[in-house]
Amino acid sequence: MKISIDATRLQTELDTLATFTHVEPATNGTAVTRIVFSDDDLKARAWLKGLAIAEGFTIREDAVGNTFIRWEGTEPDLPAVATGSHIDAIPHAGMYDGTVGVLGGLEAMRALKQSGVRRRRSLELVLLTSEEPTRFGIGCLGSRLLSGTLDPARADGLRDLTGDEEATLAKVREAAGFAGPLEAVRLPEGHYHAWIELHIEQGPLLEREDVPLGIVTSIAAPAGYRFIIHGFGGHAGALLMPDRKDALCAAAELILSIEKHALATGAIDTVATVGTCEVHPGAVNSVPSRVVLQVDLRDTDPVRREGVIEAVRHDCEQLRTRRGVTITEELVNADAPADSSPHIVEVLETICKENKTPCKKMVSRAYHDSLFIARIAPIAMLFIPCRLGVSHRPNEFAKIEDIARGTQVLAEALARLALE
């Protein structure tokens, strides 16, 4: 039973998917912006469903738009074997983050179908909604709801950070055609026999060590916070320096405190980013009265991560007193890390050995939907190299031979697991 991946078709489909984007000039590479439930996202979803239906696969969509493309097995009542990822992309991003897992998964299923492989268990390709936090402030919305790690009422109340302030997930998803209670999204533990996600590494190690495949053994623990700093605004000319409570100057010290305490752990796995800084009123001749910071803090060790935010909180106390500002902290998420299933890791390693494909076990510092699927199913991830480790930028790039190789190993692993 020869499983052959059609690399040309895969590249063509990646290129087509990249055209569903908010068009913007890109100096180098293909800039992609595809915000969840935007027209670009909905057109991309419709296009993908068309490909799946053409292959004779069935489709189910849940109330938050998670899309399940299924190829029935000979024993359809058995828990299925699944793969999947996301197609939403942050502003001014690249064309491979997430899409390699979705189109690679589709290609793997098609190749298995064409090879006539026998399998007991059904196979499912899952497109997960809103892996990126851009629109609703929290990442992995679809997989969190699938795995019961996000309260449905809280989810539906999440504000749209990219447009109409009054819009919430409930309103936006309904307008996109996804109705029904979010409670119904949840899948029970054991729903899947196994889950594998194919993804670009979003780091430099595989390319640097010239290893074509990574097998992820654990996924780091992400946390997100919002800090709202209120000072006392006023006229940039008339408000004298000693009388100021400048919210942006206080925010600047807070940003440096976050960086300082992340570095102070001395652990390479502790990373902290202040990715957005909203300044109000945002006029050059008006002293900032309010600043909102969104903070992304990760570590493979959640206790060490907690130590960083505790130290930042201590600095906030000093800032409040010394600068006379108020600082409010909002927790967006603080998630546990996830470990891959040793069995699925072993299956992947065995296939790499048989195919004489060098591979490397590694940690994922990026979070992925697999972090949450791990709450309800045994998981593993397959990484392929991306040029210079660049991601979340237009010049994100992965070679089609690496993508096809990852898809090949994925297909063979799905076939084996579907026979168990």
Binding site residues, Mn ion, CB under 5 A = 97-98
What CA–CA distance (Å, rounded) separates 197 from 380? 7
Binding at 160: pick from Mn ion, ligand HGY, none (beta carbon under 5-8 Å per type): none
State the number of binding residues for ligand HGY (CB under 6 A).
5
Site string for ligand HGY, 342-381 (x = CB under 6 A): ------------------------xx--------------
Q: Which is nearer to ligand HGY, 100 or 316 (CB)?
A: 100
Binding at 394: pick from Mn ion, ligand HGY, none (beta carbon under 5-8 Å per type): none
Binding at 367: pick from ligand HGY, Mn ion, none (beta carbon under 5-8 Å per type): ligand HGY
Contact status: 396 vs ligand HGY (CB under 6 A): no
Whether the Cβ atoms of residue 325 and residue 230 lie closer than 8 Å to each other: yes
Contact status: 88 vs ligand HGY (CB under 6 A): no
Near ligand HGY by CB under 6 A: residue from 139, 212, 224, 233: 139
> What sign for the dihedral angle of Cα 385, 128, 298, 347?
negative
End-to-end CA distance of the chain: 17
Q: How far is the CB of 140 from Mn ion (least distance, A)?
A: 9
Whether the Cβ atoms of residue 107 and residue 60 lie closer than 8 Å to each other: no
Binding at 402: pick from ligand HGY, Mn ion, none (beta carbon under 5-8 Å per type): none
Whether the Cβ atoms of residue 354 and residue 389 lie closer than 8 Å to each other: no
Q: How far is the CB of 131 from ligand HGY (least distance, A)?
A: 6
Q: Choose the binding region for ligand HGY from 131-139, 229-237, 269-277, 312-320 (rule: CB under 6 A).
A: 131-139
Q: Which two tokens stand for residue 227?
A: 């800090």
Q: Is 64 exposed, middle or buried (0-12, 13-18, 19+ CB in 10 A)?
A: buried
Cis check for the bond before 281: say yes or no (omega within 30 of 0): yes
Q: Which two tokens stand for residue 71?
A: 């190829």
Closest residue to ligand HGY: CB criterion: 366
Whether the Cβ atoms of residue 410 and residue 123 lie closer than 8 Å to each other: no
Contacting positions for ligand HGY (CB under 6 A): 131-132, 139, 366-367
